[in-house]
Amino acid sequence: MERLWDLFLASILSQNIALIFILGMCSLIAVSTSIKNALNMGVAVVLVVTLTAMINWPIYQLLILTNTTKLALLVFIITIAATVQLLEMFIEKFLPKVYNSFGIFLPLITVNCVVLAISLFFMNREYTFAETTVFAFGSGLGWLLAIVLLSGVRIKMKEISNIPKGLRGRAISFIILGILALAFFAFTGIGSA
Amino acid sequence: MKLLRMKYTKWFQTLKNGISSQNPILISVLGICSALAVTNQVENAIAMGLGVTFVVIASSSTVSLIRNFVPSKIRMVAYMVIISAYVILVQMFLEGFFPTIAKNLSAYVGLIITNCIVMGRAEAYAIKNPVKYTFIDGFANGMGYTLVLIVVASIREILGFGTWLGLPVMPGSWINWVVLSIAPGGFFIIGLLAWGLRSLTKTYEE
């Protein structure tokens, strides 16, 4: 239990998937234009990451048994694409309200590298099923935290500061992210992966 | 005279767009995960850049070849399968011939699949254009990506470790800028480069 708690804290703070491992940057920078969008995208990522990791883990065990782990990449990406597609159809049909708020972000998630990365990480680190689930959920939350922080700072900066022309828009996000990443280094030592 | 005329051919334009005016990393802000994560050493940057270039060229050409036979509804899945096949090829090649680099890059090689540049070129260019232009376009975008990676990695390795491609280049009294060898350094350097290139090409955003 303690081990899982350690892993959970580490995946949110000291091993933050966005700011320490630098993954999922394309959508992080593209969607962080308003806090509402950022929050919706973040929730969608938490959902998809946790779900796909839980599906990919048993499939990976099957690949180990049949000695075809070389194909893991191909199998993972197909599972992810299929899961996202199913999830989108399911939400559209049964939860139209939720669909309207973050449905459009779902297809984007297929190419968000966080999702595939979580599957590759549990493979490389040989996690058990419980560890995989906790790690995936925590990493999703960590990503959510990062995108909300970034969009908050970006909006404030747009309102009150005079940014040089060439840095406006997406370029300034790099500088903000750099400072955020430095701040997250202060969490080093909390939990362990 | 011949050089001057070359400037107006489609070949030249495609090449120029990919490398500077539509540079995938600095202008379009695509494929930055790997650009930030693997650029603390020049060696890794070169391997990653060439890997991505190969995958972009190969997958775009394949998509372009089959563009008239694939129904548009399932084209995304088709891209995924094509791209991951080539990525597995790159992964096996690195593991076989350059095991240390493969170990350094670890999961990031597999993540070429979700590199937006590869998918982006397939969707934005290869699906609508004949193979010969697609080939040039893939090459130009791959090179635009590789060049930025090498520049960023050179700055980070020289200032962060005092070496270039593993050879010491800084005087003995040099104190390493540790911040450049960890993740935030990548963000700062790419941010500053984007600022420079955007000011030069006058591509501004609101």
pLDDT of the residue at A46: 92
Looking at residue B21, its pLDDT comes to 75
Record: contact A26-B33, CB cut-off 8 A: yes
Report whether A44 contacts A116 (CB < 8 A).
no
Residues with Cβ within 8 Å of residue B11, at least 6 apart in sequence: B133, B136
Which candidate, B118, B122, B102, B57, places its Cα nearest to that of A113? B118
A99: closest CA among A83, A85, A88, A114? A88
Q: A interface mutation test: which of B30, B82, B87, B114 has the most A CBs within 10 A?
A: B114
The whole-model pTM stands at: 0.87
What distance in Å separates the CA atoms of residue B3 and residue A101, rounded to the nearest whole number?
Answer: 54
| Residue B168, helix vs strand vs coil | strand
pLDDT in tens, A52-70: 999 999 999 999 999 888 8
Angle A16-A20-A21 from CA coordinates, rounded to 5°: 95
- DSSP codes joined into one string, A106-171: HHHHHT-HHHHHHHHHHHHHT--HHHHHHHHHHHHHHHHHHHHHHHHHHHHHHHH----GGGTTHH
The helix/strand/coil state of A188 is: coil
- DSSP secondary structure letter of residue A67: T
Residue A146 pLDDT:
95
Does the complex come out with an ipTM higher than 0.90?
A: no
Minimal CA separation from A17 to chain B, in Å: 11
pLDDT for the residue numbered B2: 56
How many angstroms separate the first and last alpha carbons of chain A? 14
Instruction: Inspect the interface and report whether the beta carbons of B187 and A112 lie closer than 8 Å.
Output: no
- B194 and A167: CB-CB below 8 Å? yes
Most confident of A55-59, A86-90, A159-163, B131-135: A55-59
The answer to whether residues B52 and B31 touch, using CB atoms and an 8 Å cutoff, is yes
Half-sphere exposure of A166 (CA within 13 A, CB side): 15
CB contact under 8 A, A73 and B196: no
Choose between A107 and B189: higher pLDDT.
B189
Q: Do B76 and A116 touch (CB under 8 A)?
A: no
Write out chain B's pLDDT in tens, 206 residues: 455 566 667 778 877 777 777 787 887 777 888 888 888 889 999 999 999 999 999 999 999 999 888 887 778 788 888 999 999 999 999 999 999 888 888 788 888 888 888 888 888 888 888 998 899 889 998 998 999 899 999 999 999 988 888 888 888 888 888 888 888 899 999 999 989 888 888 878 76
Q: Is the pLDDT of residue A76 over 60?
A: yes
pLDDT given for residue A149 in this prediction: 95
Question: A99, A98, A137, A105: which is closest to A118 by C-alpha?
Answer: A137
CA dihedral (A186, A4, A148, A31) positive or negative? positive
Using a CB-CB cut-off of 8 Å, the residues of chain B touching A74 are 81, 84-85, 88
